[in-house]
Amino acid sequence: MRSGWIWEVAALYRAPEEEDRMKEQVEQALDMIRPALQNDGGDIELVGVDEATGVVSVKLVGACVGCPMSQITLKNGVEKVLKQVVPEVTAVESV
């Protein structure tokens, strides 16, 4: 029986702390953005972070739902800040 596969699996394994690090950083960045959205009656919820691709999925809520400016806010505001604060972020998408 080949025992090398154990090392291959071990190389792919990441400790939970490492997996949660990017998500925690994104949450902290969203907490910085949240007050501006809440001032206009909206808010943002983190749906998920794909660490392999760097894509962050969020849900806009409150006044942001159906707002014609929400996609501009998402790309020019939320995505810009997240990319600056968390360099691993490649894109932000609304779900």
Q: Which domains, and CATH codes, for the chain?
A: 15-94 (3.30.300.130)
Among 74, 69, 66, 83, which residue's Cα sits nearest to residue 45? Answer: 74
Local confidence pLDDT in tens for the 95 residues of the chain: 445 554 555 555 555 566 588 999 999 999 998 998 999 999 999 999 999 999 999 999 999 998 999 999 999 889 999 999 999 999 999 99
Q: Do 40 and 63 contact (CB within 8 A), yes or no? A: yes
In 3-state terms, the chain is what percent helix, strand and coil (to 5)?
50, 20, 25
Q: What is the pTM of this model?
A: 0.78
